[in-house]
Amino acid sequence: MRVLFTTVPLHGHFFPMVPLAHALRTAGHDVLVAAPVNFTGVITEAGLPAVPTAPPLNFAEIMIKDRNGRPVAPAKSAAERHEIAGRAWGRLTARTLQRTLDVVDRWRPDIIVSEPSEHAGALAAASRGIPWIEHGWGISTMPECRPPAADELAAELSGLGLTALPEPDLHLHVCPPSMQRPHAPGSRNQRMRYVPYNGPATLPDWSLAERDRPRICLTFGSILPRFGSGDFRGLLTRIATALPGLGTDLVVGVEEQIAAAWQPLPPGVRSAGWLPLSLVAPSCDLIVHHGGSGSTLTALAAGLPQLALPQTADQFDNAACISVLGAGRQLLDDVTVEAILAACRELLTDPGYRKHAAALAAENASQPTPAEVVEVLHELTSTLV
């Protein structure tokens, strides 16, 4: 079986698909991952073969400018956030569609697996009669973004003889059932255990050393420290400086060029730089993050309480879900250093949060493995082709 994966050039969208891609290769199937050329290095670092679908694409340009280069007005509501994101994914699809079609026609995959924001793979599958799987990356796949994406892609859809974005032959969900948003009526669904992958990594020696103080991990992913609104870097610095005041060790996961500006590191900070979250989380007692799907589900897999400070997109869904299920807290309006310290103190001292986090970790571990899902995909292609 030949399986083509397609992804937008974002770590948090691609990383959840890596375990399934490796499971397919281990089972003897051919795998290829398609993305803009400036993301192919991330794919090959994951040990997977890549094929470019577009020249280098500037993510910020795609998000903040329309097709004519005009600035996109900032969102003032959740509906506007979905509109802006959906249209951005539509613009990205328009840039990658032709090359994706060429890859499909020449490589001839038996099945296409795409993450929810990458529509070129779905369009290629629909137009070429190939089974298509939507591989989720978190609690929500943001279906609210699909209508504006379809509107943005009206010309491309028409050119392929399509009237709407196609529905997948299978939705693949990678979060525990208790966290999942309701499915679309009549949709076919398959669950899979979330297996954290955060990029190539070496286990830090200090993560295995004995310790006599709680350890907090602070991370805000790969996008917000670079593109976050307002004085986001300043807030991150203030949080990192204040947290050791709780009598804890602090591990900061942030890109090296940002961490370099903090030298010398604030007292009590154990490390700074790009950290392998899946390897570091089990050695921590609490994670403070932005509510990104990768951070949320990696912490969940480790049974770790969380404090989420959501900023955009599905981060609000992730933060709310963790809070409602008692595995952590979220801060929305009162995002001050004082409020963060108070929330961290509560999360470290109330054992109920760790109890609920452990229950979610166990629920995740009970889901089908990527290897088991490979058999599901094989059976699916046999019945659909």
Domains, the chain, in order of start with CATH, read 2-194+367-384 (3.40.50.2000), 205-365 (3.40.50.2000)
Contact 114, 4 (CB under 8 A): no
Residue 92: pLDDT band with limits 50, 70, 90: very high
Query: What contacts 217, CB < 8 A, 6 or more positions away?
Result: 250, 251, 252, 253, 275, 277, 280, 281, 284, 286, 287, 288, 289
Contact 147, 42 (CB under 8 A): no
Is the bond leading into 264 cis (omega within 30 degrees of zero)? yes
* DSSP state for residue 251 in the 8-state scheme: E
Tokens of 218: 């602070």
When mean pLDDT is compared across 220-224, 314-318, 346-350, the lowest value belongs to 220-224
Contact 202, 191 (CB under 8 A): no
Residue 8: pLDDT band with limits 50, 70, 90: very high
Residue 380: pLDDT band with limits 50, 70, 90: confident
Q: How many Å apart are CA 364 and CA 175, to the nearest integer?
A: 7
Residue 225: is its pLDDT beyond 90?
no
Q: Which of 54, 48, 46 is nearest to 4 (CA)?
A: 48
Residue 284: is its pLDDT beyond 70?
yes
Quote the pLDDT of residue 75. Answer: 77
Q: How many Å apart are CA 162 and CA 311, to the nearest integer?
A: 35
Quote the pLDDT of residue 362. Answer: 97
From first CA to last CA, the distance across the chain in angstroms is 12
Residue 262: is its pLDDT beyond 70?
no
Residue 231: is its pLDDT beyond 80?
no
Give backbone dihedrals phi and psi of 62, rounded to 5 degrees, phi first: -60, -40
The residue with greater pLDDT, 154 or 316, is: 154
Residue 9: pLDDT band with limits 50, 70, 90: very high
Side chain identity at 348, as an amino acid letter?
A: L
Tokens 């397609």, residue? 6
Residue 220: is its pLDDT beyond 90?
no
The residue with greater pLDDT, 382 or 295, is: 295
> Using alpha carbons only, how large is the chain's radius of gyration in Å?
21
The number of helix segments (H) and strand segments (E) in the chain equals: 17, 13
Residue 187: pLDDT band with limits 50, 70, 90: low
